[in-house]
Structure 1
Amino acid sequence: MIPQPTELKLLNPDTLQIAWNDGLVGRITIRELRENCPCANCIEKRSKPEPIALLPILKAEETQPLRITKMDPQGRYAYAIDFSDGHNTGLFTLDLLRELGEVVGDEGIGE
C-alpha cells in the first residue's frame, strides 16, 4: 500500500513539508519540485543538452521567486501542482513526492 500524506504544509514560501501516515516527515524545496516535474515536456527538456545562450530570454513570471500557487489531490495517488512561473502540467505521484522529500522526522517508523 502506498503511504498517504496526512498533512501538507508550506513552511515558508520556498519549502513544502509533507507528513505521511507511516510517521515519516519530509521536506521538499519548491525549486526541487519544479526541476523534477514529471510532465512529458519537462522530461524531454531535461534529456536534451542545455543550449548555449549568451542572454537567456525570460518570461516576466520567470523573474519572480518560484512558488506553489495551487496543489490539488488527484485521487489517492498524486497531486497536480501549479507553479508561479505558469507551469501546471505535472502530475506528481505520491511515490515521487516521497522520493524527493528530505526526511526530517520518522515518528512511528519501526514501531
Structure 2
Amino acid sequence: MDIPELKRLERRDFDMHLTWSDGTEHEVTYDDLRHACPCAKCAPQRNDDQSSMVLRRNIEKLPREKPTVRPVGNYALSFEWTSGCSSGIHRFERMWRLGSKLDPDNGKDYVHGAW
C-alpha cells in the first residue's frame, strides 16, 4: 500500500494528531493505538470479537498517558507506555489505516511464525 510520508506527529493529552505529506490529517486516540498493538501478545486477542472486547476494556482501565514515541528505522514507530504493552512496532501503513478508521490488521488474523 502506497501512503504519503508522515510529516508530523503531535502528542496530545488523549490522542495524537498525524499530518501526512499530501495534507491529510488524522487523529488517533491512545486507546485505539493500544488496541491495535501488533505484537505477538496483543494481536491474537483481536482475532475474535469477545477477546477483542476484553482487550479494549483492559486498555480503558489503564492510566491515561502520553507515550514516548521512537522511530524504528525508516518504516515504523514504537510507543512506550509506563503501563501496559510497549512491544508493538507500528508500521507507517498501519498508522495510516488507523487514522483512516480502517482495520489496521487488514482483515487478517494473527498467525505466529516466520511465514
Q: Give the TM-score normalised by structure 2.
A: 0.68
Structure 2 unaligned regions, length at least 5: 52-57, 102-115
**Which stretch of structure 1 is more off in the superposition, 37-46 or 1-10?**
1-10
Per-residue deviation, 1:2: 4.0
Match of 1:7 in 2: 8
Match of 1:100 in 2: 98
Equivalent pairs counted in the alignment come to: 93
Q: Secondary structure at the match of 2:96?
A: helix
Match of 2:71 in 1: 73
If asked which structure has higher relative contact order (CA below 8 Å, sep 6+), I would say 1
Per-residue deviation, 1:69: 2.5
Alignment root-mean-square deviation, CA: 2.5
Percent of pairs identical after alignment? 25
Per-residue deviation, 1:77: 1.0
Match of 2:63 in 1: 64
The answer on whether the counterparts of 1:68 and 1:81 sit within 8 Å (CA) in structure 2 is no
Q: Looking at secondary structure, tell me which structure has more helix per residue.
A: 2
Structure 1 unaligned regions, length at least 5: 51-57, 104-111
Q: How does 1:3-42 map to 2 (within 5 A)?
A: 3-10=4-11, 12-42=12-42
